[in-house]
Structure 1
Amino acid sequence: MHISMSSLSLILFDTHMEIILSSSPWLLLLPPVFLSVLLFSYLYTILWLRPERLRQKLRSQGVKGPKPSFLFGNIPEMRRIQKLVTSDQEEEAGRSTDRFSSNFVATLFPYLLHWSRVYGSIYFYATGSIQILNVTDSDMVKALANYKALDLGKPSFLQKERGALLGMGILTANGELWVHQRKVIAPEFFMDKVKGMVNLMIDAAGSMLNSWEDEVVSHGGRTEIVVDEFLRNFSADVISRTSFGSSFTEGKEMFYKIRQLQKAMAKQIIGVPGSRYLPTKSNREIWNLESSIRILILNIAKKHEHDSATSPNKFLLQSIIEGSKAASFSSCTPEDFIVDNCKNIYFAGHETTSSTAAWCLMLLASHPKWQSRARVEVLEVCHGEPLDFDVLRKLKTV
Structure 2
Amino acid sequence: MEDHSLKAIMAISFSFLVLFVLIKLVHIMWWRPKSIERILRKQGIKGTSYRPLRGDKPEMDKSFKDSPSSKPIALNDLVVPRLIPFYHNMVKRYGKVSMCWFGSIPRLIIGEAELIRLIFEDNKGGIVHRPVSPLVKLLHKGLTTLEGEQWSQRRRLITPAFHLDKLKGMVPAFSSSCYNLIERWQKQVEPQGWREIDVAPELEALASDAIARTAFGSNYQEGKHLFELQKEQTLLALEAYNSIYVPGMRFMPTGKNKRRYQLYDQIKGLLQNMIQQREDATRRGELGGGLDLLGLLLQSKEQSENDVTIEDVIEECKLFFFAGQETTATLLTWTMICLSMHPNWQEKARQEVLHIWGTKIPDYATINRLKIISMILHEVMRLFPPVPIFIRYTTRETKLRNLLIPAGSELCLSVMHAHYDTDYWGDDAHEFKPERFCEGVSKASKGQVTFYAFGWGPRICVGQAFAMIEAKIAVATILQHFSVQLSPSYTHAPHLRINLKPLYGAPIILRRI
TM over 0.5: yes
Structure 1 partner of 2:216: 244
RCO comparison, higher one (Cα < 8 Å, 6+): 2
Match of 1:202 among 175, 178, 187: 175
Q: 1:349 to 1:72 in 2, by over 3 A?
A: farther
Q: 1:279 to 1:207 in 2, by over 3 A?
A: same
Where does 1:139-150 land on structure 2 (aligned, <5 Å)? 139-148=114-123, 150=124
Aligned-partner residue type, residue 152 of structure 1: G
Where does 1:203-352 land on structure 2 (aligned, <5 Å)? 203-217=176-190, 221-268=193-240, 269-274=242-247, 275-308=249-282, 309-312=285-288, 313-324=290-301, 326=304, 328=306, 334-352=309-327
8 Å contact from structure 2 (residues 33, 50) kept in 1? no
Structure 2 partner of 1:162: 136
Which moves more between the two structures, 258-267 or 35-44? 35-44
Match of 1:64 among 46, 50, 59: 46
Q: 1:191 to 1:363 in 2, by over 3 A?
A: same
Aligned to 2:291, the other structure's residue is in SS state coil
CA distance in 2, matches of 1:285, 1:37: 39
8 Å contact from structure 2 (residues 63, 85) kept in 1? yes
8 Å contact from structure 2 (residues 96, 110) kept in 1? yes
Aligned-partner residue type, residue 59 of structure 1: R
CA distance in 1, matches of 2:50, 2:254: 26
8 Å contact from structure 1 (residues 123, 135) kept in 2? yes
CA distance in 1, matches of 2:18, 2:305: 43
Aligned to 1:314, the other structure's residue is in SS state coil
8 Å contact from structure 2 (residues 34, 50) kept in 1? no
CA distance in 1, matches of 2:119, 2:81: 26
Aligned length: 366
1:289-328 CA distance string (max 9 Å, x none): 1111111111111112222343232332133334445365
Aligned-partner residue type, residue 136 of structure 1: G
Aligned to 1:126, the other structure's residue is in SS state strand
CA distance in 2, matches of 1:106, 1:385: 44
Q: By percentage of residues, which structure has more helix?
A: 1
Aligned-partner residue type, residue 251 of structure 2: Y
Structure with bigger gyration radius: 1
8 Å contact from structure 2 (residues 215, 317) kept in 1? no
Which moves more between the two structures, 302-311 or 349-358? 302-311
Q: 1:227 to 1:318 in 2, by over 3 A?
A: same
Q: By percentage of residues, which structure has more strand?
A: 2
Structure 1 partner of 2:150: 177
1:172-196 CA distance string (max 9 Å, x none): 1111211111111012112222222
Q: 1:286 to 1:47 in 2, by over 3 A?
A: farther
Where does 1:379-394 land on structure 2 (aligned, <5 Å)? 379-394=354-369
Aligned to 1:73, the other structure's residue is in SS state coil
8 Å contact from structure 2 (residues 169, 291) kept in 1? no
Aligned-partner residue type, residue 295 of structure 1: G
8 Å contact from structure 1 (residues 128, 271) kept in 2? yes
Which moves more between the two structures, 359-368 or 272-281? 272-281
Unaligned runs of 5+ in 2: 374-513
1:45-66 CA distance string (max 9 Å, x none): 5555544444444334333333
Aligned to 1:223, the other structure's residue is in SS state strand
TM-score relative to the length of structure 1: 0.79
Shift of 1:287: 1.1
Structure 1 partner of 2:447: none
8 Å contact from structure 2 (residues 216, 293) kept in 1? yes
Match of 1:82 among 64, 69, 78: 64
Shift of 1:285: 0.9
Structure 2 partner of 1:96: none
Give the superposed CA RMSD: 3.3
Unaligned runs of 5+ in 1: 12-26, 94-98
Aligned to 1:165, the other structure's residue is in SS state coil
CA distance in 2, matches of 1:193, 1:364: 30
CA distance in 2, matches of 1:45, 1:282: 32
Structure 2 partner of 1:188: 161
Aligned-partner residue type, residue 286 of structure 2: T
Match of 1:365 among 335, 340, 343: 340
Which moves more between the two structures, 272-281 or 193-202? 272-281
